[in-house]
Chain A
Amino acid sequence: MFEPVFMRLALIASVATGASLGIIGVYLAFRRVVFLGLVLANAATVGAAVAEVFDWSPEITSTVAAVAVALGLGLVQRPRRVSSESVMGWAYAAASSAPVLILAAVAAPDADTLHMLFGNLLAVSSSHTVGLVIVAVVIGLAHVLFSRRFLLVTFDAEAAQVAGVNARLWSLGLNLLVGVAAAAAVHEIGALLTFSLLTLPAMTALLVTASVRATFAVAVVLGALLPCLGLATSFYLDLPAGPASVALLSISVLAAAALGSSSSSG
């Protein structure tokens, strides 16, 4: 099954992307901002659409767009009359409609453009695969080195700030990682699978674990493993790879919920 080069590249890309998004997703779940992942995935798509219009580098433009939105949402104070979720909803709606409008106004999207915008794991190139592995290594390193700081400002940002930690800077740093991870992933696997990998492995892990370390470990393993199973499923059953992976990730959440409820009632 993994003999063709494109399948091997897809395997490496899905493991790297799933593992890095698994780590980031746990932080998003702990901070109760899972929709930030969706917003940034769509912001990266807006960047790719702008790059298509101006013939810029889609990788750089989409990363700049996602990082700018990540930092903007971290810096701008939300109005007191609306919740953070509402701001995320607004950003998601705006970022979802923008690529369609941009391309409809100034370009006629062909199949390559749509792949570039919405991703296709089976079409990932070797250079892009290397890029995804580098992003995964950077995120893994940042997690290993700074997880204590990230968790400190996640658990109680105000107490950390009073003790001398620049909580806002660390929160922005975390947002920056989310932006980079989402931009790198959405370009290759699309917004749906990117959002699913940011959300579902962490959700499953939280349902079946009782420690921070185990939550990260389970999320990384599921994020790396289930998209590979999705690839295999798509290969043997002739199904689209992205939705097959999302389906498996969704089933894992249901299984974890069932496991959690049976263990708590037992």
Chain B
Amino acid sequence: MAHSRPILTGRELSIGYHHRAVFEDVSFDVHRGEILGIVGPNGSGKTTLLRTILGLLKPLRGQVERDAGLAISYVPQRDRIDTILPVTALEVVLMGRAARAGALQRVHDADRDAGLRALALLGAEPLNRQLFRNLSGGQQQRVLLARALAADHTDLLVLDEPTAGMDAASEASTLEFLRDLNRNPGVTMLIVTHMLPIVLNLATSIMLLGSRTVLHGTVDDVLREERLSELYGVPVHLGIVAGQRTLVVGRRNAIDV
């Protein structure tokens, strides 16, 4: 991939909590138009790395540099959201615009229209008046994604387990939607997931987190059968089904590769 100047850079990062490093000496670049997948087994430190990249956690050493004025929208895991607030789906989406507006700014018709458009992009417009807490997990995830898209401008979309709780059809349509969003208008993405199949066909580059190690490169360079088998402790096979990269855990003849 031809790369311009990176919009987000990590340099010699030591990352962790309470002076205890999970990773040391991690460096990476995120370029405009890229879809970077951050993957690894449970407990490998994906969330810690994500929080550091987002500026929510200070690195123990090194620094994360962003382009001046870089507009980041963050879509958290839906189960991190407390549903005690009796807010509707549209009110949640409008928070994406409120966060970028002044503290005293009111909600205008233009904001509502933008919120409804963002919901419509994800096929969730009919949910706009329903309470967020009454929605299914997949519907909540789509509303949180719409919240990120409702902002006037997003340079970098950061998604944490973006298809959690979705059924197969919703997952496929959401991934297709993200792919379209990357092509036009060219939104750069950073996707954190423990589901390798999600990033296999979506990401343009990968950060694979292992035990205190981070590998960063193209999907083909990083996601290799022997490496994944060793990391996950089970046989992992990669192949192509219907033109799509796919992954099988277990016996090799479970799928025709």
Q: State yes or no: do A and B come from one complex.
A: yes
Give CA–CA (A148, B97) in the complex, Å: 11
Contacts A155-B92, A155-B95, A162-B55 known; A30 to B84 CB distance under 8 Å?
Answer: yes
Contact A159 B76 (CB under 8 A): yes
With an 8 A cutoff between CB atoms, is A8 at the interface?
no
Q: Is the CB of A149 within 8 A of B103?
A: yes
Residues on A with C-beta less than 8 A from B103 are 145-146, 148-149
Please, which residues of chain B bring their CB within 8 A of the CB of A158? 54, 56, 74, 76, 80
A165 touches B87 (CB 8 A): no
Tell me the nearest residue of chain B to A77, going by C-beta.
Answer: B18
Q: On chain A, which size bracket covers the interface?
A: 20 to 34
- Mark interface residues in A125-165 (1 if CB within 8 Å of B CB, else 0): 00000000000000000000110110110111011111111
CA distance A161 to B158 in the complex (A): 13
A209/B86 in contact, CB under 8 A: yes
A164 to B81, Cβ gap below 8 A?
A: no
Among A10-18, A56-64, A96-104, A210-218, which stretch is in contact with chain B?
Answer: A210-218
B99 interface neighbour in A145, A165, A214, Cβ under 8 Å = A165
Are the CB atoms of A30 and B56 closer together than 8 Å? no
Q: For B87, give its contact among A146, A160, A163, A212 (CB under 8 Å).
A: A212
CB contacts (< 8 Å) of B158 on chain A: these are 162
A163 in complex: contacting residue of B74, B81, B82, CB < 8 Å? B74
Q: How many residues of B contact A (CB 8 A)?
A: 33
CB contact under 8 A between A162 and B84, given known A210-B131, A212-B91: no
Q: Residue B104 contacts which of A145, A156, A160 (CB distance < 8 angstroms)?
A: A145
A163→B86 contact, CB < 8 A? no
Q: Which of B69-123 contact A (CB under 8 A)?
A: 72-76, 80-82, 84-88, 91-92, 95-96, 98-100, 103-105, 107
Smallest CB separation, B109 vs chain A (Å): 16
Q: Residue B219 at the A interface, CB < 8 A?
A: no
- Residue A78 lies at the interface, judged by CB distance under 8 Å to chain B: no
Q: Nearest chain B CB to A27's CB is how many angstroms away?
A: 10
Question: How many Å lie between the Cα of A209 and that of B84 in the bound state?
Answer: 12
Cβ-defined contact, A154 with B98, below 8 A: no
Asked whether, in the complex, the Cβ of A212 is within 8 Å of the Cβ of B73, the reply is no
What's the nearest-Cβ distance from chain A to residue B152, in Å?
12
Residue of A nearest to B87 (CB): A212
B38 within 8 A of A: no
- Count CB-based A-B contacts (< 8 Å): 82
Chain B residues near A161 (CB-CB < 8 A): 54-56
* Complexed CA–CA distance, A143 and B73 (Å): 26
CB proximity of A129 to chain B, nearest CB, Å: 30
Q: Are B86 and A156 in contact (CB under 8 A)?
A: no
- A32 in contact with B82 given A158-B76, A162-B72 (CB within 8 Å): yes
Mark A183-195 against chain B: 1 for CB-CB distance below 8 A, else 0: 0000000000000
The verdict on A29 contacting chain B, using a C-beta distance below 8 Å, is yes
| Inter-chain contacts of A154 with B (CB < 8 A) | 85
Q: Considering only CB atoms, which chain A residue lies closest to B53 in the complex?
A: A162
Return chain B residues, CB-CB under 8 Å to A146.
Answer: 103-104
B86 adjacent to A155 (CB under 8 Å): no
Closest A-chain residue to B88, C-beta based?
A211
Q: From the candidates B18, B54, B105, name the one contacting A162 in the complex (CB within 8 A).
A: B54
A75 CB, nearest partner CB in chain B, Å: 16
What distance in Å separates the Cβ of B129 from its nearest Cβ neighbour in chain A?
10
Tell me, rounded to whole Å, the shortest Cβ–Cβ distance linking B175 to chain A: 21
Provided the pairs A149-B103, A154-B85, A209-B86 are in contact, do residues A162 and B98 lie with their beta carbons within 8 angstroms? no
Closest Cβ of chain B to A43, distance in Å, is 25
Is B151 an interface residue, CB under 8 A from the partner?
Answer: yes
Judging by beta carbons under 8 Å apart, are B99 and A163 in contact? yes
Supply 15 further A-B pairs (C-beta < 8 A) apart from A156-B80, A211-B87.
A30-B84, A80-B18, A148-B98, A148-B105, A152-B95, A156-B81, A159-B99, A162-B56, A162-B73, A162-B158, A163-B74, A164-B99, A206-B86, A212-B85, A212-B86
Sample 19 A-B pairs with CB under 8 A, ordered by A number.
A146-B103, A148-B98, A149-B98, A152-B95, A152-B98, A154-B85, A155-B95, A156-B81, A159-B76, A159-B95, A161-B56, A162-B54, A162-B72, A162-B158, A163-B72, A163-B73, A206-B86, A210-B131, A212-B85
**4 smallest beta-carbon distances between A and B, as pairs:** A163-B99, A162-B74, A159-B74, A149-B103
Residues of B within 8 A of A (CB): 18, 54-56, 72-76, 80-82, 84-88, 91-92, 95-96, 98-100, 103-105, 107, 131, 147-148, 151, 158
